[in-house]
Amino acid sequence: MTVTNDWWRGAVIYQIYPRSFCDANNDGVGDIPGIISRLDYIAALGVDAIWLSPFFTSPMKDFGYDVADYCDVDPLFGDIEDFKQLVAQAHDRKLKVIIDQVYSHTSDQHAWFAESRQNRTNAKADWYVWADAKADGTPPNNWLSLFGGSAWQWDTRRQQYYLHNFLTSQPDLNFHNRDVQDAILDAARFWLDIGVDGFRLDVVNMYFHDASLADNEIADTPDKMFVGIAETNPFARQHHMNQMCRPDNLQFLQRLRSVLDKYPGSTTVGEIGAPHALDIMAAYTEGRDKLHMAYTFELLGEKHSADYIRQTIDQLNAKLVSGWPCLAISNHDVIRSASRWSPSGDVIRSQAEAMLVFLLTLRGSVCLYQGEELGFAEGDVQFEQLQDPFGVEFWPEYKGRDGCRTPIAWDTSVNSGFNQGAQTWLPIDPRHAAQPALAQQADDDSMFQFTARLLAWRAHQPAIVQGSFEWYPTDANVLAYVRQDASQAVLVMVNLSDQRFEVPEPEGYTQVSGAQHPHVVEAFSYKIYEKKLQ
């Protein structure tokens, strides 16, 4: 692990969903002490940092993404001293700590909103997005909520509508108000002062809205579609550029970056779900005065043909001239990649390995989602077991996000070692219980050990961590590319399909990993070659 302030450039960040990682107090929900108890496991994996999804004070209607206090830990997860201990213990193991920050909206239980909704003249009256009804009593415009229905909710006290891009209990902050920006920056300083190494910024492109509240247009062409949203969701039918992705956001991101710059070595990674998201990523990361890096949803969907991936990577590399990407193929919002990209939906070990080779050899930093290193399939959650309001709303065409959030199976004890209590907040998938994390860690032939070896190899390949990227000519169905720096060139060939392809043997390269047949890339397989340049 590097010790420079640019440690994040090319780093591997392990995402922890605290509710589902490890439960130390046996109440059914994972917590911070549980995370601390598994830090040795994470360190053994060989990642550079951990990213924690929200653990802040919250009524948990959206499981922590509805924040009621930006500067405290929800008792469900522990307390602030527990978190300080987590930071210290992680740093002792040379692990950086990144935490989620949800700035676009709060919970309706936040003290700011409780004050704002009292009347139209209080000190925080303009801290949220309020608007009068139309003459006929309907909402001020046609904006939709990502979680279904109108993005506007009527409030009887103020006799106005307030904006919510998600649940009605998640009112949007008004970033056009400088006081709101200042309060958010104070929250950022609070955690940086404790010692966190950076932030993952939830829906970073949704902080600002069009102040005139103009209607959204219809998304009548593919470039206007919101990347990462199912077509069954009416939200997908609008071009949301009045509701989000406003140019005002750039100035706030510069203010945020100026705060981070006062904490050398800290970083940001922004989540961007939007139409033409790669353009937004480029704008948000160029110039070294806004975000350090960002990720989009192009590789978090169903499409994974070689042609689609090649086009996506080409667009990414063309648009990010000075910016830096962060790449992921699984996270807490999408079906696990081992199931999502499998022809049958079942985990194919060789495919899971090939997918990780692909992810970990691209240009950019990487987010590795908990359980991905174990080859876990999407968890099976029945309707009556659902917790995710998104899934409840759109079942059965969309089953929500619970399947990727099921608790981690650690061993063969009660509740697979997630806890020793009577229950778990979501069911543990039997397939996970059959291949628990600690058993995999002890098995040299396991998916865990494959991932750990791959990460250990990657850490010592400068061409992979920060080198250039260029496609290598071969069969169009095979993803083949060269990562290069002054000292080495690494050629990677990945076949994510269920077909077998003939390829020419590369001249001047020595094969270092993968199947040995010199002229064939088997189904769901990979090959890695190296050439020393000096």
Which residues are catalytic, by number? Answer: 202, 271
**Are the C-beta atoms of residues 390 and 322 closer than 8 Å to each other?**
no
- What are the tokens at 13? 């960040």
**Are the C-beta atoms of residues 528 and 458 closer than 8 Å to each other?**
no
Pairing, β 96-101 against β 198-201: parallel
C-beta contacts of 34-39 below 8 A and 24+ residues apart:
34/419, 35/86, 36/82, 36/85, 36/86, 36/89, 38/410, 39/86, 39/89, 39/90, 39/93, 39/95
Distances (CA, A) of 190 to 44, 72, 214, 264: 30, 10, 36, 15
> CA-to-CA distance for 383 and 392, rounded, in angstroms?
8
From first CA to last CA, the distance across the chain in angstroms is: 24
> CA-to-CA distance for 302 and 275, rounded, in angstroms?
17
* Rg of the chain over all Cα atoms, to the nearest angstrom: 23
The size of the chain, in residues, is 534
CA neighbor of 363 nearest in space, from 201, 524, 495, 485 = 485
**Are the C-beta atoms of residues 477 and 495 closer than 8 Å to each other?**
yes
Dihedral sign, Cα of residue 97, residue 101, residue 107, residue 111:
positive
> CA-to-CA distance for 339 and 234, rounded, in angstroms?
26
CA neighbor of 319 nearest in space, from 288, 277, 267 = 277
